[in-house]
Structure 1
Amino acid sequence: MLRVDKALFSNVVTAVQRTANLPGGAVRNLPGGASLEGMKGVESFSAEVADAKKEFELGRVHNSLARIRQIEMQFNSIAGRWNAQAGGILASARQGKQAVPAQKLNEVKNAQAKMRQLTAPATKSFRDLITALEHAVASRNDAEEASDQASEQRTSSTDLVSTSAIASGSPTGPAVSNEKPLDDEEESVASRSFDSEPRKEVPDLAVLGKFAEKYRFGPKLEVKISESRKRHISPKLEEGRFYFVQGMQPPTVVRVREIRSSAVLVYDALHGNETLLDSFRLRTLIGRGIWLLTPSRIGA
């Protein structure tokens, strides 16, 4: 696994804490008694980043990455609200909806510029840390795949030896020519055993709640390994599609918002919020059961 400089965690904390206060002080006495201060809510990020760092130190890199991504999303949300407030004041003044003295408008504009100077380093610190953690996760995944490949190669070698021994009639197994042919009944049983697909259980439509009116269960997602030894999801995830995730507590319907390099952003229809699933958690949930939801046929 690639090493991650622990100073990257400290950089995030330092950069984010600076946004809690507006250089030069808050802009007060704005219309409606409003004031423009530092970003509220970022004070708790220090403890959250510390928890993510602890996860990393314990070797739980996937968990650490997921935590940092969640913190980044929270920070971006707070920054978005701050910018919306400042932009709203300026827009109202331009449109004549509110009378704002020219001096106050300049103070708001200066506050915007100062906050941009603070948020830019914070955004970069998040990106640096997330990139480093993503590389560490990818490195671990590559190591796991290499281990799986080596294991399968050993198994294949064993199978090859066994097959050769059987074909040559050596003591490790009977010769092919000496095998007893199957009678009609045995052949029928063997055909059913190898040709029939195992029955895949599908949850009851009732678990879909309101989605049961318009959707039905499609194929179940699986993690497969290609000939090039790369893991892939089949059928592939698609942005904008709905999926039923059985492994979440409670089971829920999600919509894929964004597919990233090593994570998937989904909207949880039950709880009404967004959740970021890293590759490790996604594979775990697929193992517990994820189904693509397809629109019901009209008149079905």
Structure 2
Amino acid sequence: MDKAKVTFLGTGSAIPTAKRNHPAVLLEYNGETILFDCGEGTQRQFRVAKINPCKIDKIFISHWHGDHILGLPGLLQTLDMNGFNKELKIYGPKGSKRKFQEMVGPYAKGLGIKLEVSESAEGVILEEKDFVISGVDIDHGGCRGLNYSFAIKERSRLDVAKLKKLGDVRGPLVGELAKGKKVKIQGKLVDGSKLIYVEPERKVSFIFDTQYNKRLEKFAKVSDLLICEATYFEEGDLANERGHMTAMQAVDVAKKAKAKKLLLFHFSQRLEAVMRDVEKAVKKGFKNSVLVRDFDSFEF
């Protein structure tokens, strides 16, 4: 199974703290490196995490509020100075081309980086051979935006352990067996379908700034990792008023979506003083949960 990993470069919200930077999450899978949101200071977070930002292939922006995108100008300049030599694709909700020009464009002028900004709507946004990225509209106080899911497709695999038991099998025969075909090995007919197993879909769902709504449960259904904002603890009315979620609402989504693991981030600075209480309540509601810190990594 090819490893997939997410690294949190920022877990704070609108106002960063000494321990929590503005939001940014990096996903690495099978040679693909994708950044989800790029809060102020993200380029420095790459340095601290000892990750080369030039590995980035794509950037997905949830919405164009400053705490989620003000790291773009500095990151682009750093990439340019470090010889970034491939096209950088930036995906975002409708209106992203105009927002990019208004908020980032002045700093991107004169850079040697080839940029492509795409606007996406709810549904499938990008489909590759091995994975698919989908989006769902956010409800963030009238702000247009998208939450994203990254799903590694179900696929058939050849069981290497069973293959080794057949002896020294190499070359085209291995390819035929991997296709589930019958082949002769040392005079015996071997059914390739008996050597194949199905690697199930793996999925990580990102819920950035949004008000709680039941559509999130379907969106995050059976996620291996559910990454969810938790700007507030239990103050549901305040969260709704400001287009955010509480930690306990995130727990509710995780349970109803039957997620395997809940990763909470995007904490208000006011939660720092009560983090132990938040963690206790969250784990009581959903045992396999983590209140994530900057630079934490998780495989799925």
Scaled by the length of structure 2, what TM-score is found?
0.19
Higher strand share: 2
Higher helix share: 1
